[in-house]
Amino acid sequence: MFTDHTLDTAPPAARPAMAAVAQRMGGRVPPAVARMANSPELLDGFLTLTAAFDRTTLDPLAREVVVMAVAVRHDCHVCVELHTRKLRALKAAPELIDALNADAPLPDDRLEAVRRFVAAVYASAGAVPADELADFLSYGFTERNALEVVMGIGTYTLSTFANRLTGV
């Protein structure tokens, strides 16, 4: 139902973002981007939020735990596949990747605290109980990190919902 746009068929407002993605990906436009291009605002918003999330003070593995927790929760197969590859590129332990894919407790206590915190944010619609926030902070995370997790949840909820809606 949704069009897989190319640089030639995309709405003009989506073309700069698509071109930037294609340049980073060796000329390839991923299907998710090709379909998000149906709404230039959605595509620009997602790419802007993703870039900002990548600049947060959360370390790369913690960011990927957030992304995978969202992707698995929303059953976004394309997101799980893409971010599993990213975890491998980050040299994440196979046991960590397997646990993330299974939505199971993680073998790394610090990263498990991130996974639990994502679940707590969802379960409470952001009104995380003080003891669950304290647990997250006890692993060396900060209040800033807690807000960055919320940012990651929002960013990748947008992506997973768009991917599922468009049938990527």
Annotate 108-149 with DSSP letters as a single string: SHHHHHHHHHHHHHHHHTT---HHHHHHHHTTT--HHHHHHH
Beta strands in the chain (DSSP E): none
CATH H-level, domain 60-166: superfamily? AhpD-like (1.20.1290.10)
159 band by pLDDT with thresholds 50, 70 and 90: very high
Q: Specify the domain boundaries for CATH 1.20.1290.10 within the chain.
A: 60-166
Per residue in 75-105, pLDDT tens? Answer: 999 999 999 999 999 999 999 999 999 999 9
> Each residue of 6-64: pLDDT tens digit?
999 999 999 999 999 999 989 999 999 999 999 999 999 999 999 999 999 999 999 99
Q: Nearest-CA neighbor of 159 among 25, 31, 29?
A: 31
Average pLDDT over residues 136-165: 98
